[in-house]
Amino acid sequence: MNTVVYDSPGFTLIQDSCQEWLLLEWRGLHDATTIEQCCGIVLENVRRTRYTKILDDASEILDGWRETIDWIEKNFFRRLAAEGVQYVALVNAMDWPARQCMGTLLRHIEQPRVDMFDFDEVAQARTWLQAASTVPAR
């Protein structure tokens, strides 16, 4: 069962209780403020659900992430790992500048395990995440 937990023009967070993961859907332009706010919402819901997997669909984002790459790497992904997230399937953007930002980001992330999929590979991202075996929750 899918439950929309948060919805705005640029970001939707869905709790998929059947798969036991969070689905993030990013759209359009974002700045550091909106990115940090949305990431805070994700962290709150990771704590609440204790899910260890995230399907992060960034296929519809546009450029504007470059200024936050360092923060996402050093803050957000480390906090996800600290909260128990083990796997993130990241569906990369169609927008070329945004794609480059996501590629740069993933070179430096050690935890959680992140696999990137092209914008038209959502089904493959789901399959990878379903197959990912997690250590039992804390």
Highest mean pLDDT among 56-70, 89-103, 120-134: 120-134
- Residue 136 within a domain: no
Total structural domains within the chain: 1
Alpha-carbon span 130 to 135, nearest angstrom: 14
- Residue 33 within a domain: yes
- Residue 61 within a domain: yes
Query: According to the model, what pLDDT value does residue 131 have?
Result: 93
- Residue 37 within a domain: yes
Domain residues for 11? 2-131
- Residue 127 within a domain: yes
Query: According to the model, what pLDDT value does residue 119 have?
Result: 77
- Residue 138 within a domain: no
Identify whether the C-beta of residue 129 lies closer than 8 Å to the C-beta of residue 19: yes
CATH assignment at residue 53: 3.30.750.24
Q: What's the pLDDT tens digit per position in 41-64?
A: 999 999 999 999 999 999 998 877
Mean pLDDT of the 70-97 span: 89
- Residue 85 within a domain: yes
Q: Look over the chain and give the mean of its residue pLDDT values, rounded to a whole number.
A: 89
Query: According to the model, what pLDDT value does residue 138 have?
Result: 47
Query: According to the model, what pLDDT value does residue 136 have?
Result: 56
Alpha-carbon span 67 to 36, nearest angstrom: 12
Query: According to the model, what pLDDT value does residue 102 have?
Result: 75
The answer, as to whether pTM is greater than 0.75, is yes
Under the phi-then-psi rule, with left for phi > 0, alpha for psi from -120 to 50, and beta for the rest, what region is 50? left
Query: According to the model, what pLDDT value does residue 82 have?
Result: 96
